[in-house]
């Protein structure tokens, strides 16, 4: 059975990320600076280089790849919780190229912002911390 907690939507932070910044690191820094311990993240815009990953369920390892070309951020969705005592952003992204082809996966450091508008919604409720899940090998929420 699913393990769930209840949250209430709190305040939101909206803004534009800096051109040339690392997308994941910039959102993470905002969350740490604002002491956001639970939240929801979304963004749109464009990147000049992308680094995304796919989790190999057999080996329990991420396989990362870089796409070195301009891409639109079609969708970025993620959450904020705590790992090792610090705010952690976990996000997935779908990117599109000039021909309309889409690429998607786990957002990784090394994705460089061309232009990006970002929203972080702070959630009010119990703080979830990430710990190693033995079945998947992933740092999942301890509920």
Domain count, the chain: 1
In a domain, 138, yes or no: no
pLDDT band at 66 (very low <50, low <70, confident <90, very high): very high
Q: Which percentage of the chain shows pLDDT scores above 90? A: 99
In a domain, 142, yes or no: no
Q: Is the pLDDT of residue 1 over 90?
A: no
In a domain, 141, yes or no: no
What is the CATH classification number for the domain harbouring 75?
3.30.1330.80
In a domain, 89, yes or no: yes
In a domain, 109, yes or no: yes
In a domain, 84, yes or no: yes
For residue 110, count CB atoms less than 10 angstroms from its CB and return exposed for 0-12, middle for 13-18, buried for 19 or more. Answer: middle
The confidence score (pLDDT) of residue 74 equals 98
In a domain, 133, yes or no: no
In a domain, 42, yes or no: yes
Per the structure, the complete domain to which residue 25 belongs is given by: 9-128
The confidence score (pLDDT) of residue 8 equals 97
pLDDT tens column, 81-113:
999 999 999 999 999 999 999 999 999 999 999
């Amino acid at each position: 059975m699913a393990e769930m907690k209840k949250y209430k939507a709190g305040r939101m932070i909206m803004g534009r990320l800096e051109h040339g910044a690392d997308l994941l690191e910039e959102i993470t820094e905002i969350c740490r600076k604002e002491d956001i311990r639970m939240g929801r993240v979304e963004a749109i815009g464009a990147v000049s280089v992308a680094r995304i990953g796919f989790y190999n369920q057999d080996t329990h390892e991420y396989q990362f790849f870089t796409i070195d070309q301009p891409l639109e951020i079609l969708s970025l969705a993620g959450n904020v919780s705590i790992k090792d005592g610090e705010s952690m952003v976990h996000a997935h992204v779908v990117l599109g190229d000039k021909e309309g082809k889409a690429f998607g996966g786990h957002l990784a450091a090394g994705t460089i912002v061309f232009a990006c508008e970002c929203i972080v919604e702070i959630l009010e409720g119990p703080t979830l911390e990430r710990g190693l899940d033995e079945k998947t090998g992933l740092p999942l929420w301890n509920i």
